Amino acid sequence: MKKKITVVIPALNEGKVVKYAVERVFEAYKKYSLDWECLIMDSSTDGGITKKTAEQYGARVISIPKQGLGKAYIDSLEHIQWNYVIMWDADGTYDFMEMDRLIDKLDKGYDFVMGTRLKWNIHPWAMPWKNRYIWTPILTFFINLFFNAKISDCNSGLRAITLDAFKKIKLESRWREYASEMIVKAKLTHLKMCEVPISLLADREGRMPHLPAYAAWRANLKYIILLASEFVFIKIGFIISLFWLFILLSQLFGTITIGVFTFGTFYLFLWVLFCNIWFSILQMGVLTQNFSYLNQFRTTHISKRIEKKFTFEKGIILWVSLFSIWFLIDLTIFIAWRKTGQINIESFRIWLYALFFIITSIQIIYFSFIYYLFNKYKNH
């Protein structure tokens, strides 16, 4: 039985090269005995040249506004008819005759398969050195760091995905950052994914790339960090908050000397400041993870526990407790000051701890209000 596959090719003024892409699709059809649909998402402004050329060679062309590469893939969803989807560039720089490697992985149960240029054959002049050695490796590093994707090439334009998986990731990026978004959301939604090596060919003569490399890199990095809020805010915030809290408590009974360095009252003030800053970052992470659209893709253990255990009433109790500690410490210092007319260094150190309690109590009460309001209308 023949497999049925939709090849989606976004096109922007590709009249000079689109025929080669479409021809390659039907060459693969003959070679691998597959049923194809070649779908061109055309946002060209060349007077219909791209559309006419693609249709002449057998493609189905959908005309769309010029809104970006990612938006072309989003718009293609309502036009895809078959279960396997291959994403391919209209410039023909990927060797489409290698797509059988991707289809084979889908047949074996993978939901999302990426081609990797960096582990196979990059032809001379096919990939600028900055893209090959700087932009792509940096983005790939962060995706692997934050999401354990275990990939080597996050920017490959030859990909295969099942239609169900394509719908599940809810692609939203309109521009080039769709490349990173697909990988990250594939991990967040627990899709079974892998890489296969592919070749990269040089651009055909007379064809210039549409995408400025640095701008595309910056957009991808921004989106990666956005989706990594759990790692950036909650995990890092929690660990660093605990670190500064430990440092803060370690000076409770006096200064600390490590080698030639002595950490006294001045540093204690910094510990209070840093501890509260990172506690604020942790709170932002909890709010972001629980109440932004990210909760559609990942609900962390910390988020689940807070949602289950934390209530507005508990926040009020915690606020009253911390506020009371601050009040009692400051009252004690005030009484001592009234008796002696001065505040010694030890009293000042204790006051710094009181400062920590009052700042934390204010953070807790505002967090409790915000959490209560967001949670109340979360499903409205």
Task: Convert the pLDDT of each residue in 108-142 to its tens digit.
Answer: 999 999 999 988 788 887 788 888 888 899 999 99
Computed over every residue of the chain, the mean pLDDT equals 84
Sheet holding 60-63, edge to edge: 60-63, 35-42, 4-11, 84-87, 159-162, 112-122, 193-200
Q: What tokens appear for 264 in the block?
A: 């006294």
Angle between helices 178-188 and 213-227 (to 10 degrees): 20
In three-state secondary structure terms, 1 is coil
Q: Could you tell me if 214 and 135 are in contact, meaning their C-beta atoms sit under 8 angstroms apart?
A: yes
Q: What is the DSSP letter of 112?
A: E
Binned at pLDDT 50, 70 and 90, residue 55 comes out as: very high
- Helical (H) or strand (E) element with 35: strand 35-42
pLDDT the model gives residue 211: 59
The mean pLDDT of 183-207, rounded to a whole number, is: 85
CA distances from 29 to 62, 235, 318, 376 (A): 21, 48, 67, 54
The mean pLDDT of 258-277, rounded to a whole number, is: 75
Binned at pLDDT 50, 70 and 90, residue 67 comes out as: confident
Alpha helices (H) along 57-135: 69-76, 100-107, 129-130
| pLDDT at position 36 over 70 | yes
pLDDT the model gives residue 124: 83
Task: Name residue, tokens 């490959």.
Answer: 156
The mean pLDDT of 41-64, rounded to a whole number, is: 92
| pLDDT at position 300 over 70 | no
- Percentage, residues of the chain above pLDDT 70: 89
pLDDT the model gives residue 65: 92
The mean pLDDT of 18-32, rounded to a whole number, is: 86
Q: Residue 68 corresponds to which amino acid?
A: G
pLDDT the model gives residue 341: 79
CA 137 – CA 153 distance, rounded (Å):
7
pLDDT the model gives residue 160: 95
| pLDDT at position 207 over 70 | no
The mean pLDDT of 43-53, rounded to a whole number, is: 92
CA 108 – CA 196 distance, rounded (Å):
13
User: What pairs with residue 112 in β-bridges?
Assistant: 161, 193
Q: Residue 365 corresponds to which amino acid?
A: I
Q: Could you tell me if 354 and 330 are in contact, meaning their C-beta atoms sit under 8 angstroms apart?
A: yes
Q: Encode pLDDT of 312-341 as tens digits.
A: 899 899 999 999 999 998 898 888 888 887
- Stated pTM of the model: 0.75
pLDDT the model gives residue 128: 81
Highest mean pLDDT among 1-5, 29-33, 226-230: 29-33
CA distances from 122 to 24, 91, 119, 139, 202 (A): 19, 15, 9, 19, 8
> Dmax over Cα atoms in the chain, in whole Å?
97
